[in-house]
């Protein structure tokens, strides 16, 4: 029985393939069709899927194999979504919480200095 990885751990293509129940060649093919799917590649072209890559693979699998979308349909759907990144203006909930705490600390410091 393989060891369970934490939710935040990187996965190899073999681990993801087994977890999702799809052959490795399908995952490699999806990398050519979906520009959003870009796992890290190390020496020897070994692929390591980050948690966000795993979530995207699960979503693509659901849309293609369970909801009946075509490759082109999923491409259009993913392309229409805003890209989440550092410059996208959409902060993660954790980042929003840190900013709120920082603002509270700045206010307390400003009142303390008066």
Specify the 3-state DSSP secondary structure of 71: helix
Threshold 0.75, pTM exceeds: no
Please tell me the distance from the alpha carbon of residue 91 to that of residue 95, in angstroms, as a whole number.
6
Q: Which residue has 């995952």 as its token pair? A: 27
Q: Tell me: the pLDDT tens digits for 92-109? A: 666 677 777 777 777 777
Q: Tell me: the pLDDT tens digits for 10-67? A: 999 999 999 999 999 999 999 999 999 999 998 888 999 999 999 999 999 999 999 9
Q: Is 39:49 a contact under the CB 8 Å cutoff?
A: yes
Please tell me the distance from the alpha carbon of residue 60 to that of residue 63, in angstroms, as a whole number.
5
Please tell me the distance from the alpha carbon of residue 24 to that of residue 22, in angstroms, as a whole number.
7
């Amino acid at each position: 029985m393989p060891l369970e990885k934490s939710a935040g751990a990187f996965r190899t293509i073999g681990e993801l393939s087994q977890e999702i129940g799809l052959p490795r060649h399908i995952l490699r093919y999806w990398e050519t069709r979906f520009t959003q799917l870009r796992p890290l590649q190390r020496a020897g072209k070994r692929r390591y899927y980050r948690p966000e890559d795993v979530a995207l693979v699960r979503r693509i699998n659901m849309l293609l194999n369970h909801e009946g979308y075509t490759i082109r349909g999923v491409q259009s759907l993913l392309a229409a979504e805003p890209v989440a990144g550092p410059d996208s203006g959409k902060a993660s909930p954790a980042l929003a919480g840190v900013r709120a705490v920082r603002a509270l600390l700045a206010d307390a410091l400003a009142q303390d200095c008066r």
